Structures are given as structure tokens and as C-alpha cells.
Chain A
């Protein structure tokens, strides 16, 4: 008959030191990998100041989370390997009593982490200029730039772009170029841009992914968001709010081009729309649209019997599905 002897256990202090060293090495390696290898590929990229900040934020959060996750995993695996029950060892584990040091360390550690994330997140929401999010009609954190009636390449003029959402397309209006409108978003690199996001029907969301801009498009609301494009390239614009059956197809593409190319494009579209007459047919530029008011026709139009169904509506009043 053979007897199984339980090997001598290392002291508690050595356990702690071992776990700490393993955790330290793995955490350092993970943080370095996250920061130098992963961060450059993190969404949404670095095409604008807002996007760079978001990429930085995600990387900081990952670096903050990695040591915590690694500590949990190291402790878990270490426990399984070192403190597992040996064959033939049927004895109970040692009783555990309260440990003030462990409890205090846990409370202090988690408090520090949560407060750090709170302060960091709040600071990063403020800069730059609202972090690319819609700030409503009266922004608190504004982007530096000169408010002008016209935009000139090479200046620090703020470019105004009105984003008009409707089921299921985005259009873009440029008040500094005669109020011309386009189905494509063009922006000049290195220029502070103010988006005025609104909707003509239901709630949409303007999400210019690579620029790190996301702002809800609400009917009759001017939702302001800021961005400064920092690199040339294409931008994917998607609706990020479920808005009906073709919500998934509500996307188009934008382009960040050089300031001179933008000037040429915008002036060209303006001239073309002046020539076709559509520029004169657009309503006066306003920060929000009220689709119940058609200035050139007046409010009486929908009251004319026979126009698009009874009394201007597609549905008779008796139809129970009248929206």
C-alpha cells in the first residue's frame, strides 16, 4: 500500500508574489500590445479630431480593463493549478475568515477604477467640441472657427453643412454656397465643420463613421455636431436609428478632399443648380424644416379636395390605419 503525501505548500506570501509577478508581466505585455499594435487599427480610425479622440478613448479603456481581466484569469488559473485537490487528499480546505486587507484593497481598487473612468469619460466627452456627438440646438462645447457667411479655402472659416434626413436618403445643404444641396457629402480637409442635423419625417441618426460623428436627426430639431477632418479619404454615412423598412439601405458615402478641390466642387454644384433653377426653387435656408409648411404654396394646399386623395391625405378619415 502506498501513501500519497501532500507536497509542502509554499507560504502565503510567496503565492501573492508569484501571482503579482505573473500578473505584472502579462499586464505589461497586454498593455503594450494594445497600445502599439491594436490601437492604430481601432475604430473609428483617425480621420478627424473626433475620431482620433474616440480611438484614444477606446484604447485607454482597453488598457484600463486589461490588467483587471488578466488578474482575474491569472488568479483563476493559478488557483486551479496550485490549490487543486491532490489525489487522495480528502481533507477540507482551511476555513476562511474576514480579511480586512483584501476587503479594503478590493473597495479601494474598484473605487479608483470607477472614478478614473468617470473622470476620464467626462473629460473626453467635452473635448474636442463634444467629441463628435450631437449637442442639440445650443451646443455647450463649441469648435473654434470663424463664423462667416461665405467659406474660403485656406482660412479658418467654419464650414456649415446641414444634414437633411428623410426616409431613406441623406442630403446635404451648404448655406455658404447659396444654399445648394447635394446627395453627396463633401468636406474640405483641415477645416472646422458644423453639422446641423435634422429630419423631414421620422427620427434618423447621422453617423459619419470614419469622422467619428454621430448625431440624431429629429424632425424640427437642429442637432449640432462638430468635426475637423484631418485626412483625405472616403467616409461611410449610415443611418443609425431604426427608421423603417429600408433603414438598412439608408447609407451613402462622403469624401474628404483638399480645400481647393472642395471649393471647386461646391462652386461647381452651386453654379449648376443656379443654371437648372433648382437653387431658386429651394426654400429659404432654415436650421429646421417644417414639412407641414410649404412657403410657396401656403398651408391651404392640403385642404384642396382631390389632391392626393381626400382632403390632401392618402387615407379617408374612416380608414382605421390612418397614420
Chain B
């Protein structure tokens, strides 16, 4: 083979390999950027972020993955994303609907509420008929090992925010869980949890995640939804206010 032919073959091979790399990178980056971001604007120094976590989701690719949803503040529609933005130096009031069943925390230390204003959350639990089992219970610990009342956690490690997310109680977790996402309070057992925290005084992107790697059944750690944007981990974009 001549030198020219060999050089041509080499250039073609390099172009193909680089092209494949660029394609893969763009494919995945494009997939991530396709997730919508829900923007929350402050009013009176506060924003109200509304989330729900479901035992499944309405995606075509992974419908059986547990997932968070974020409520659009203007349309009140549930958006299948885990990206939201809030202003800096603002009080964030989170309302979180927990529709997924209980799971023992791998480290029960995270049953303790940390980083919220007052170090507490307020929890209510309802059955599928709307009957309220627990009403506006303010607590600093939701013991995920004693009563099976914790479904997941909402954690922003960089801000020191660690919140156990309440689930419907154990019998309700075992039966009648919401089966179609986004879930509604009508006809489904759920837990309603509220808490507040302050955003930092500077802009930045803050990872949030769940610290329950698939409950007690997995040794393999945070696979699948637990490490996929749009499901059980997300990013809170703090923007200059």
C-alpha cells in the first residue's frame, strides 16, 4: 500500500473515531438538555416549590422507574423533570407529595431532618379515600426503620439539606399505591410533607438526590433512577435575585 493510501486510511479512521465520540457526547448531552427546567420566581423573598415522587412515571423508556415530578408554578401542570431554578438568598418553601411506598433507609441517620429552617418538617398522611391518618405532624425525625414511613430522601448535600420524604404508612404502602403518573391526591394514598430552607447568597447549580439506593434489597448502589437526571436526582439552579 502506498504512503498516500496509508495516510488516507489513517485520516479516515481518525475522522470516524472522533466523529463517533462527538456523536455519543452530543447524544447524551442533548438528552440531558432536553429536560425542561421549571423556574420559580420569588414573591416577598420566598418561593413555593412543589414536588411529588411516584412509584412509576409516564415515560416511554423507563415507565417502571420511581421518579420525581416538579409542578409548574403558573400552569400547575406536573412536569416530568428534576431541574428547577430558584433565586439566590431566598426562602424556599417545599411541598412534597410522597406517593411511593416505604423503603428502609440504608443509613438511618438520614431519618433526621437536617438543614431546613427549624430543623423540622411537617407531615400528613392520607389513605386512598382521603382519610387523614397523621395530621400536620411537625418533627425532626421520621424514623425510616421503625414504622416504615419513609419512601425516599430529598438531599442537597452542598447545602447540608437532608430531608426524609414521608411515604404512605406501611399497610398503605403495601397496597393501593398510585399506579399512574403523575399521581393525584384523589384515590391514592400519599404523604404530604412541607419544609423550608434558604438558598445561598450566590448563584450556582446544586445537585439534589435521593439517598435511598433502592432500599434494603440492593448492594449495588444507586443504579437506574437513582443516578439519572429526570428521575430521582436533579439539579437546583440558584440564580442571582
Seen from chain A, the residues whose Cβ lies within 8 Å of a Cβ on chain B are 164, 166-169, 171, 173, 181, 183, 200-202, 219, 243-246, 249, 252, 273, 276-278, 281-283, 289, 291-297, 301-302, 304-309, 312-316, 319, 321, 323
Q: Are B224 and A314 in contact (CB under 8 A)?
A: yes
| 5 extra A-B contacts, CB within 8 A, seeds A168-B157, A308-B100 | A276-B112, A281-B108, A281-B141, A304-B174, A315-B64
B70 CB–A CB distance under 8 Å: no
Interface residues of B in 88-128 (CB under 8 A from A): 100-104, 106-109, 111-112, 114, 119
Residues of B within 8 A of A302 (CB): 215-217
Please, how many angstroms separate the alpha-carbon atoms of A108 and B67 in the complex? 67
Chain A residue nearest to B119 in the complex (CB): A276
Given known contacts A169-B211, A278-B112, A278-B141, A309 and B64 CB-to-CB distance under 8 angstroms: yes
Residues of B within 8 A of A273 (CB): 112
Chain A residue nearest to B111 in the complex (CB): A281
Given known contacts A307-B173, A312-B217, A314-B214, A249 and B157 CB-to-CB distance under 8 angstroms: yes
Seen from chain B, the residues whose Cβ lies within 8 Å of a Cβ on chain A are 55, 64-66, 100-104, 106-109, 111-112, 114, 119, 140-141, 143, 145-146, 148, 151, 155, 157-158, 160, 162, 173-175, 177, 207, 209, 211, 213-227, 233
Please, how many angstroms separate the alpha-carbon atoms of A258 and B240 in the complex? 38
Q: Are A291 and B64 in contact (CB under 8 A)?
A: no
Residues of B within 8 A of A173 (CB): 109
Please, how many angstroms separate the alpha-carbon atoms of A77 and B216 in the complex? 66
Chain B residue nearest to A204 in the complex (CB): B221
Residues of B within 8 A of A278 (CB): 108-109, 111-112, 140-141
Pick the contact of B64: A164, A301, A316 (CB < 8 A).
Answer: A316
Smallest Cβ distance from B180 to chain A, in angstroms?
Answer: 15
Chain B residue nearest to A311 in the complex (CB): B217
Residues of B within 8 A of A168 (CB): 157, 209, 222
Residues of A within 8 A of B217 (CB): 292, 302, 312-313
Given known contacts A171-B107, A277-B141, A306-B175, A292 and B213 CB-to-CB distance under 8 angstroms: no
Chain B residue nearest to A318 in the complex (CB): B64
Q: Are B111 and A296 in contact (CB under 8 A)?
A: no
Given known contacts A183-B160, A278-B109, A301 and B218 CB-to-CB distance under 8 angstroms: no
Residues of A within 8 A of B55 (CB): 308-309
Q: Are A309 and B104 in contact (CB under 8 A)?
A: no
Q: How many A-B residue pairs have CB under 8 A?
A: 153
Q: Are B64 and A166 in contact (CB under 8 A)?
A: no
Residues of A within 8 A of B216 (CB): 291-294, 297, 301-302, 312
Please, how many angstroms separate the alpha-carbon atoms of A201 and B114 in the complex? 22
List the 9 closest A-B pairs by CB distance, nearest first: A201-B221, A323-B223, A278-B112, A202-B221, A167-B222, A181-B109, A296-B145, A294-B104, A306-B174
Q: What are 20 sample pairs from A and B whose C-beta atoms fall under 8 A apart?
A: A164-B107, A167-B221, A167-B226, A169-B211, A183-B160, A183-B162, A201-B218, A201-B222, A249-B158, A276-B112, A278-B111, A281-B146, A283-B145, A294-B216, A297-B146, A301-B104, A306-B101, A313-B218, A323-B220, A323-B224
Given known contacts A166-B211, A308-B215, A313-B217, A296 and B106 CB-to-CB distance under 8 angstroms: no
Residues of B within 8 A of A321 (CB): 224
Which one of A200, A277, A314 has the highest number of Cβ atoms from chain B below 10 Å of its Cβ? A314
Q: Are B64 and A319 in contact (CB under 8 A)?
A: yes
Which one of A169, A183, A301, A307 has the highest number of Cβ atoms from chain B below 10 Å of its Cβ? A307
Please, how many angstroms separate the alpha-carbon atoms of A77 and B207 in the complex? 54
Q: Are B109 and A306 in contact (CB under 8 A)?
A: no
Smallest Cβ distance from B65 to chain A, in angstroms?
Answer: 7
Please, how many angstroms separate the alpha-carbon atoms of A252 and B55 in the complex? 31
Smallest Cβ distance from A234 to chain B, in angstroms?
Answer: 16
Chain B residue nearest to A303 in the complex (CB): B217
Chain B residue nearest to A202 in the complex (CB): B221
Please, how many angstroms separate the alpha-carbon atoms of A314 and B223 in the complex? 10
Residues of A within 8 A of B65 (CB): 314
Please, how many angstroms separate the alpha-carbon atoms of A60 and B100 in the complex? 58
Smallest Cβ distance from A290 to chain B, in angstroms?
Answer: 9
Please, how many angstroms separate the alpha-carbon atoms of A49 and B124 in the complex? 52
Please, how many angstroms separate the alpha-carbon atoms of A94 and B132 in the complex? 101
Pick the contact of A202: B103, B151, B211, B220 (CB < 8 A).
Answer: B220
Residues of B within 8 A of A244 (CB): 221-222, 227
Smallest Cβ distance from B33 to chain A, in angstroms?
Answer: 16
Please, how many angstroms separate the alpha-carbon atoms of A294 and B119 in the complex? 26
Given known contacts A202-B220, A291-B106, A306-B177, A314 and B225 CB-to-CB distance under 8 angstroms: yes
Smallest Cβ distance from A171 to chain B, in angstroms?
Answer: 6
Q: Are B227 and A301 in contact (CB under 8 A)?
A: no
Please, how many angstroms separate the alpha-carbon atoms of A243 and B221 in the complex? 9
Q: Are A246 and B211 in contact (CB under 8 A)?
A: no
Residues of A within 8 A of B103 (CB): 307-308
Smallest Cβ distance from A286 to chain B, in angstroms?
Answer: 12
Pick the contact of A307: B141, B155, B174, B213 (CB < 8 A).
Answer: B174
Which one of B66, B151, B173, B221 has the highest number of Cβ atoms from chain A below 10 Å of its Cβ? B221
